[in-house]
Structure 1
Amino acid sequence: MGQKTRPTGFRVGIVEDWRSRWYASKREFGTLLVEDVKIRNFVKTRYGFAGIAKVEIERTRDHVNVNLHSARPGVIIGRKGQEIDRLKAELEELTGRRMEIKIVEVNNASKSAILVAEDIAQQLQKRGSFRRALKRQLDQVMEAGAYGVKIELAGRLGGAEMSRKEKGIRGSIPLSTLQRHVDYGHTTAKTAQGIIGIKVWVDRGNYSDEESNNGADAQAGQASKKPKRSHKR
């Protein structure tokens, strides 16, 4: 079962949090769900070059909080915050609700499955070799500290007449272990020969290990910000 299930959906509600966090009545649910899709599509279309890994949406009555996880936060914020103000105004016009946008930086883009998939898609659209792109990304993900990575390409690879699949694996991908953080992302590359599908799995280790590492990094950051005391004799 684990081989045929999306890893993030398999873990949602157990160790993964929902991407949209709000409650609504049966009458409003469909409208708000479509609104969430519109927000995500608008952000990905407008700022796809900023390396957006995830868009989280939280709602109150008429207030919407949007958390953008980006590998290049400076591009979205813009000079003196002008770009993020423009994005906020456009989303408010799109939805008719008050928006609050928060930018969360993605520290290591090579460990984000969707960003790896989008990078491969860009290389294929620029007529790059699919084998070279596949091998390069496998090496980069493992060098970034991942425990394992699997990349699967499907379509008219290399301009072949018949579509086929090409797969590359490094390390281990435990698809049925719920305590293991397996990040998953998929996208498509629109080439001259046709559309190529790209799927990426990245094993980032146990969730408990990630939380402890994040806590240690936060403590180290706070310690570095504390002023040093000068001892006078």
Structure 2
Amino acid sequence: MPVEKHFIKQGIKRVQLETYLQNELSKAGYGGVDIKRVLTGTRVTIYVERPGMVIGKKGKSIKQLTDDLEQKFGLEKPQVEVVEIPKPELSGPIMAKHIAFALERGLSVRRVGQSMVRTIMGAGARGVEIVISGRIAGERSRSMRFYEGYLSKAGEPAQKLVSHGKAVAKLKPGIVGIKVSIMPPDVPLPGEIKIAEETTGTEKQPAGEKVEETKVKKAPEEGVGDGDAQA
């Protein structure tokens, strides 16, 4: 198989897996997956808001999920690890789902967008951008953008440091798409310089310790005298 087709096949399989996990774990607050090949098989780390719903009673749900990953997606000996997201407000996929649920309950787009921006920034994010597109006001499709703070939108920082999330809200006028991008706090940005503060004053020695002072005697300089030379 050519290299190009191999990468295309792997990309399609990854999209299918991502879609499957979003549908199956939507109630658990799905926040993303990390897949790595290890010596004993494939390590699958799933980030969710409520891990108990993924594990299930006596581990029944996670066993079924492991079997699906192996049979439907061909993962070799998958080892599933469920990790709880400490701050769901800083996860793009989770907040996108929250916005979709709020819109489906009938709340206005402007109210939901502004409220979510305050919630995300209140959790400590450096920046956030929310874009809601579709038939949100009248019959014509339009987009509304809500943003605050600093957000990398190009290059490697935008791909690796920003948490991106997408969701769909099914409203009476039609389908509405939601995109959320969140810049977490304290992320190292290229070109950002931090200057450490210089400590002043002498450090105190611990009690009970004696510091010996070594005196250095300066040697006399050669060739310097009163002009007399000895043979």
1:184 aligns with 2:148: no
Percent identity over the alignment is 29
Against the structure 1 CA distance between its residues 200 and 36, is the aligned structure 2 distance closer, same or farther, given a 3 Å change threshold? Answer: closer
Could you tell me how far 1:174 is from its partner in structure 2? Answer: 4.0
- In structure 2, the residue matched to 1:49 is 27
- In structure 2, the residue matched to 1:75 is 53
In the alignment, structure 2 segments of 5+ residues that lack a partner are 190-231
The alignment yields a C-alpha RMSD, in angstroms, of 2.7
Residues of 1 paired with 2:185 and 2:72: CA distance?
Answer: 39
Against the structure 1 CA distance between its residues 99 and 146, is the aligned structure 2 distance closer, same or farther, given a 3 Å change threshold? Answer: same
- In structure 1, the residue matched to 2:116 is 137
- In structure 2, the residue matched to 1:92 is 70
Please tell me whether Structure 1 or Structure 2 has the larger radius of gyration of its CA atoms.
2
Q: What does the per-residue CA deviation read over 1:183-228, in whole Å, with 9 as the maximum and x for residues that have no partner? A: 222222222211112122212134349xxxxxxxxxxxxxxxxxxx
In the alignment, structure 1 segments of 5+ residues that lack a partner are 1-23, 210-233
- In structure 2, the residue matched to 1:112 is 91
- In structure 2, the residue matched to 1:127 is 106
Could you tell me how far 1:112 is from its partner in structure 2? Answer: 0.9
Q: What does the per-residue CA deviation read over 1:73-121, in whole Å, with 9 as the maximum and x for residues that have no partner? A: 1110112222111211222231354221111221101011121111111
1:203 aligns with 2:183: yes
Residues of 2 paired with 1:149 and 1:28: CA distance?
Answer: 35
What is the TM-score with the length of structure 1 in the denominator?
0.69
Q: Is this contact kept in 1: 2:93–2:166, CA < 8 A?
A: yes
- In structure 1, the residue matched to 2:150 is 172
- In structure 1, the residue matched to 2:17 is 39
What is the TM-score with the length of structure 2 in the denominator?
0.69
Could you tell me how far 1:45 is from its partner in structure 2? Answer: 1.3
Q: What does the per-residue CA deviation read over 1:121-159, in whole Å, with 9 as the maximum and x for residues that have no partner? A: 11112222212211211111011111222211111114x
Q: Is this contact kept in 2: 1:134–1:168, CA < 8 A?
A: yes
Of structures 1 and 2, the one scoring higher in RCO (CA 8 A, sep 6+) is 1
Q: Is this contact kept in 2: 1:179–1:206, CA < 8 A?
A: no
Q: What does the per-residue CA deviation read over 1:20-53, in whole Å, with 9 as the maximum and x for residues that have no partner? A: xxxx983754544433333222221111111111
Residues of 2 paired with 1:138 and 1:105: CA distance?
Answer: 23
Against the structure 1 CA distance between its residues 173 and 30, is the aligned structure 2 distance closer, same or farther, given a 3 Å change threshold? Answer: closer
Q: Is this contact kept in 1: 2:70–2:77, CA < 8 A?
A: yes
Against the structure 1 CA distance between its residues 69 and 130, is the aligned structure 2 distance closer, same or farther, given a 3 Å change threshold? Answer: same
Against the structure 1 CA distance between its residues 69 and 194, is the aligned structure 2 distance closer, same or farther, given a 3 Å change threshold? Answer: same
Residue 207 of structure 1: SS of its match in structure 2?
coil
Tell me the amino acid that sits aligned with residue 177 of structure 2. G
- In structure 1, the residue matched to 2:204 is none
Residues of 2 paired with 1:37 and 1:174: CA distance?
Answer: 24
Residues of 2 paired with 1:103 and 1:136: CA distance?
Answer: 29
Residue 184 of structure 2: SS of its match in structure 1?
strand
For 1:162, which of 136, 140, 143 is the aligned residue? 140
Greater Cα offset, 182-191 or 115-124: 182-191
Higher helix share: 1
Q: What is the number of equivalent residue pairs in this alignment?
A: 185
Tell me the amino acid that sits aligned with residue 58 of structure 1. K
Residues of 2 paired with 1:94 and 1:62: CA distance?
Answer: 20
